[in-house]
Structure 1
């Protein structure tokens, strides 16, 4: 089954066409990177796939559904923006608990192990984190709801292990 299918996807914003007749598909259990120069439409594409924006033309399906305003897509995917701000008054422990309540496939055990591994403390408030720690937290929140299979889980754990080895070598 295809996790994502785009056929003739076009997005126009005022006079500017940010995506023009984009077509591709991504099978389930695949890790993909989106690469391109500034202004190429990467963020626009991701916002459409996350259901935050509606395509101007073409067909888009994420997990078999049109993602725009789809509760099913929202609870099975996550879009983390560098502009995203989490509530200042919530501790990391509460943020993880709330993420687990919203995302049906949330792996709380892995989330808490990663929080410990990256040196977070459960009672830390988001505003108390350094910029680097905020980025790590967003990455953690980004990947956990989307992990749907044992294979992807093992790939994620291997990636974390490799990152830890690189970090240890650098510092």
Structure 2
């Protein structure tokens, strides 16, 4: 059974038999994170979910938390994503810490603990990949519900993560 999902700009994505819809945010100025989530989630049928993948850099924070000049001269922070944050099922991010190709999952967990001993992210899994460019680790975790989107991005940065994927359930 083939189904499609319509993006905010009117483009339809053919899903095929895929369980989750993935949206890559390559240029955060072109695609508002909160707008994508609000527009797509009502179109998904359980157990399908939405995965929003994006760089874990300052440009994401700069876009989501941009400041606008108001008529009265005050500046406001736009925070459309925090209301959606409680819906995040899990977070996966690339762990950029150097490791040996022979290192096991416990070694990567130890590197994470050294990088950020006080992290509140609950590590669910570590996937070790040996790529042509060298070894890489994918970390899957559950963020605390009380966190804001800003806290999440900053935590991934402190853990030396470069790219992250947020998974929403329908």
Identify whether the pair has TM-score above 0.5, normalized to the shorter chain.
no
TM-score (norm 1): 0.30
TM-score (norm 2): 0.30
User: Quick check: which one's strand share is greater?
Assistant: 2
